Chain A
Amino acid sequence: MNRPATPYLIRCSKLGKRFGDTPVLEDIDLSVAAGEVVVIVGPSGSGKSTLLRCLNVLEPLSTGTLEVDGKTLGARGTSARAIRRETGMVFQQFNLFPHMTARENVMLGPRKVRGQSAKKARATADRLLERVGLLDWAEHLPRELSGGQQQRVAIARALAVNPKVMLFDEPTSALDPELRGEVLQVMQDLAAEGMTMLIVTHEMRFAEAAAHRLIFMDHGRIVHDGRPEAMFANPPSERFREFLGHVK
């Protein structure tokens, strides 16, 4: 049988993160298989954003090990950059480059990271903009787009470097309710196409519809990790039941 060397795209063990003396993440053991869609929930300050930022090394780990697509952080020949290339990230505040058009935003990664020619990068960008329904807006600057459109461009930008895993940090929290649907739809399509995704969100309906796994974090630790239907139907702890009561 021909098994891939690593069945997991992301694997971290005993991952810990502290800011100064304050521990923010402790003993995180997490493995995510290719094609899995994992939703992470938890109260404010529980470390969800920090976990995503550690997974693409925007924050250096304090302890533990991290492996992404078979590349171990800190191993010979594996830089933080090598890991970031394999992970796309979508931020709550979109963070589009304000001096570049939608198309230029999406082209930057293919140009600078994948070394594509301008022509090829443009084709890549247009294909992805079409996929998120924004090819007609390619020439517009971010400030000329609605929040929902900006976030869709941001998703296209992250996809453009061909990452193996996509990380989403509350991608719809900064959006008006009527704009959330268009972003969630794009994410759901991605999930359906088999993209591996880690999503921090409070959208429980999205979790129910698209997630294979639901992770509940509290005080910097993973408290529960299970199937969403089961966890919603039968909350495994009083703490989680309480949390669900707040977000629903």
Chain B
Amino acid sequence: MDFRWEVVWIAMPQMIQGAQMTMQITLLGIGGGLVIGTLCGLIMAFRIPVINWLVFVYVSVIRGTPIVVQAMFIYFALPLAIDVTLSGFAAASLCLALNAGAYITEIVRGAVLSIDKGLTDAGLALGLSYPQVIASIVGPLAFRRTIPPLGNQFIISLKDSALFLVIGVAELAQRGEQLTAQTGRALEIWTAVAVFYLIMTFTLAMIMRLIERRMTIL
């Protein structure tokens, strides 16, 4: 077995571009997912009538179908259904945001519900209003508890972005596939791709650790 380093060297610029695309999609995906998930998680935790059922349906649909199917649906089926055509990049980011959003909904809901009811009682007994109790007590405590599971979800989302190669988005995995076809050197290309993913997930994990350490989980 010979490992030709020059193949990796030549492929490097394209792989860096792919990694950049992966990072962009991931950032948009987890950013959007955080917004969706926080909102939906609070709706579920506080059982806002009617819309909590819509949220339940959304979470069930996302959790109950493979993310590949979701990507295919958004990219290929949606244009037929409602006449909107998305670029591959937009479809991928939207898909990842919707997907992460459903899981983050559960993370947020779980964190809010895990906060001892006695603390809410103590706040109300002081004479705080319910929104004040959420803002000063339940919110800050629940927020801390979301951080470890969020870190996990961010890494899953980053890796999930690889399957957007099925809709032809030029992210890292898709570049890997193309480069393999061009060079015929699967060993070098996929090793390099794996290393790129490792570097990105490891960095993300370290960032989350840092935040975790800064804020004691109570």
Contact residues, B95-151 vs A (CB, 8 A): 116, 118-119, 121-129, 132, 136-137, 140-141, 144
| B199 in the interface (beta carbon within 8 A) | no
| B218 in the interface (beta carbon within 8 A) | yes
| Cβ-defined contact, A95 with B128, below 8 A | no
Q: How far is the CB of A25 from chain B (nearest CB, A)?
A: 18
| Cβ-defined contact, B118 with A91, below 8 A | yes
| Count of A-B contacts judged by CB separation below 8 Å | 63
| Cβ-defined contact, B136 with A112, below 8 A | yes
| Cβ-defined contact, B127 with A99, below 8 A | no
Q: How far is the CB of A126 from chain B (nearest CB, A)?
A: 18
**Which stretch in A26-34, A82-90, A132-140, A232-240 binds the other chain?**
A82-90
Q: In the bound complex, what is the Cα–Cα distance between A97 and B141 (angstroms)?
A: 9
Q: How far is the CB of A145 from chain B (nearest CB, A)?
A: 14
Q: In the bound complex, what is the Cα–Cα distance between A85 and B123 (angstroms)?
A: 11
Q: In the bound complex, what is the Cα–Cα distance between A97 and B124 (angstroms)?
A: 12
Q: How far is the CB of B3 from chain A (nearest CB, A)?
A: 52
Q: In the bound complex, what is the Cα–Cα distance between A93 and B120 (angstroms)?
A: 13
> What band does the interface of chain B fall in when counting residues whose beta carbon is under 8 Å from A?
10 to 19
| Cβ-defined contact, B125 with A99, below 8 A | no
Q: In the bound complex, what is the Cα–Cα distance between A167 and B218 (angstroms)?
A: 27
Chain B: CB-nearest residue to A92? B118
| A81 in the interface (beta carbon within 8 A) | yes
Can you list 13 pairs linking A and B with CB atoms under 8 Å apart?
A: A81-B127, A84-B127, A91-B118, A95-B116, A95-B118, A96-B122, A98-B218, A109-B127, A112-B126, A112-B136, A113-B126, A157-B122, A161-B127
What 1/0 flags go to B172-216 for Cβ under 8 Å of A? Answer: 000000000000000000000000000000000000000000000
| A230 in the interface (beta carbon within 8 A) | no
Q: Known interface pairs A81-B127, A109-B126, A113-B128. Does A95 touch B121 (Cβ–Cβ under 8 Å)?
A: yes
Chain B: CB-nearest residue to A81? B127
Q: Which of A88, A93, A99, A158 contacts B118 (CB 8 A)?
A: A93
Q: Which A residues are CB-close (under 8 A) to B129?
A: 81
Q: Which of A93, A99, A143, A161 contacts B126 (CB 8 A)?
A: A161
Q: Which B residues are CB-close (under 8 A) to A56?
A: 125
| A192 in the interface (beta carbon within 8 A) | no
What 1/0 flags go to A69-109 for Cβ under 8 Å of B? Answer: 00000000000010011011101010111110000000011
Give the interface SS of chain B, mostly helix, strand, loop or mixed.
helix
Q: Which A residues are CB-close (under 8 A) to B140?
A: 99
Q: In the bound complex, what is the Cα–Cα distance between A81 and B122 (angstroms)?
A: 13
State how many residues of chain A have any CB contact under 8 Å with chain B: 25
Minimum-distance CB pairs A-B, first 10:
A85-B127, A89-B125, A95-B122, A113-B127, A95-B118, A98-B218, A109-B126, A84-B127, A112-B132, A99-B218
Q: Which A residues are CB-close (under 8 A) to B144?
A: 99
Chain A: CB-nearest residue to B116? A95
| Cβ-defined contact, B128 with A99, below 8 A | no
| Cβ-defined contact, A108 with B125, below 8 A | no
Q: In the bound complex, what is the Cα–Cα distance between A158 and B126 (angstroms)?
A: 6
Q: Which A residues are CB-close (under 8 A) to B121?
A: 53, 58, 89, 91, 95
Chain B: CB-nearest residue to A89? B125
| Cβ-defined contact, A58 with B127, below 8 A | no
Contact residues, A146-179 vs B (CB, 8 A): 154, 157-158, 161
| Cβ-defined contact, B119 with A95, below 8 A | yes
Q: How far is the CB of B124 from chain A (nearest CB, A)?
A: 6
Q: Which B residues are CB-close (under 8 A) to A161?
A: 126-127
Q: Which B residues are CB-close (under 8 A) to A88?
A: 125-126
Q: In the bound complex, what is the Cα–Cα distance between A93 and B140 (angstroms)?
A: 20
| Cβ-defined contact, A97 with B125, below 8 A | no
Q: Which A residues are CB-close (under 8 A) to B132?
A: 112
| Cβ-defined contact, A87 with B128, below 8 A | no
